[in-house]
Amino acid sequence: MSYITVGKENSGNIDLYYEDHGTGTPVVLIHGWPLSGSSWERQVPALLEAGYRVITYDRRGFGSSSKPTSGYDYDTLTSDLHKLMTNLDLRDAALVGFSMGGGEVARYFGAYGSERVSKAVFMAAVPPFLLKTPENPAGVDGTVFEGISQAIAADRPAFLSKFFADFYNVDILRGKKVSDEVVRLGWNVAASASPVGTLACVQEWLTDFREDLKRINVPTLVVHGDADRILPLTATGRRMPEFVKGSRLVVVAGGPHGLNWTHAGEVNRELLTFLSKGR
């Protein structure tokens, strides 16, 4: 098992667990909340077979990484990513962010630029700006996130059951695109995450990434399902071309939030086609 140390909390190190497989152009896969790098199970084999070096890692507080009680803001989370990038001396890398991981991709360009990065992918991702405000009427009302925080604080395991039902649109896709076992796997991974980190991340979804996105100067792919109940297409992916000039939006018909599992074939085709251009 491989780890890098990104900080300390009192007497203990804050370590990130990562996996580094294959050879070729690096592709860094950044998972969503409240999962881990293992959520890329259906993408990693396809990328390795296509000849890429594939790096997954677990965000602090999740998966096999350390579970500190601080550092769940996007500046720190993106600093963690940058430490991984520099520790492995990744160059010409593609950053692929799913859901909350899309925020790290956006903030990476805002904070560190594109010196180490050649392509960006936002998959069912949080950016550009999720919170509804007078000047951002396409966003989601803040009371929604207040309700999520209250539900997590009251009964996190029960909240996660409801969350994964909507994550995969189980009422429609169960037995067709997703099994009960996959849903249970997601719940198990999420239940083992830091309760502090799970709750703290919710407010970070409201981060305004619009200025970060304007700094992206590499080819960019946006993939989003039109049946996403967690991060609605109209508030997220549909708006990305406004801020990332020249980006390509792919809308997956019937795709739920967890489309990298339910629609893995379509997602992988789009991802591999995008990554192969100019290779």
Q: Domains in the chain and their CATH numbers?
A: 2-276 (3.40.50.1820)
Q: How far apart are CA 114 and CA 96, in angstroms?
A: 14
* Active-site residue, selected from the candidate residues 66, 79, 247, 257: 257
Contact 16, 86 (CB under 8 A): no
Cis omega (within 30 of 0) for bond into 195: no
Neighbours of 12 (CB within 10 A): 10
**Residue 114 catalytic?**
no
**Residue 257 catalytic?**
yes
CA triplet 271, 73, 120: central angle to 5 degrees? Answer: 20
> Who has greater pLDDT, 101 or 278?
101
Neighbours of 230 (CB within 10 A): 20
* Active-site residue, selected from the candidate residues 99, 212, 224, 247: 99
Work out the average pLDDT over 147-168: 98
Work out the average pLDDT over 31-38: 98
The DSSP letter of residue 39 is: G
Share of the chain above pLDDT 70, in %: 100
* Active-site residue, selected from the candidate residues 80, 194, 228, 263: 228
Work out the average pLDDT over 141-169: 98
Which structure tokens are listed for 255?
Answer: 């795709």
63, pLDDT greater than 90: yes
**Residue 82 catalytic?**
no
Q: How far apart are CA 176 and CA 78, in angstroms?
A: 36
144, pLDDT greater than 90: yes
Average pLDDT, the chain: 97
**Beta strand 12-21 with 26-30: parallel, antiparallel or unpaired?**
unpaired
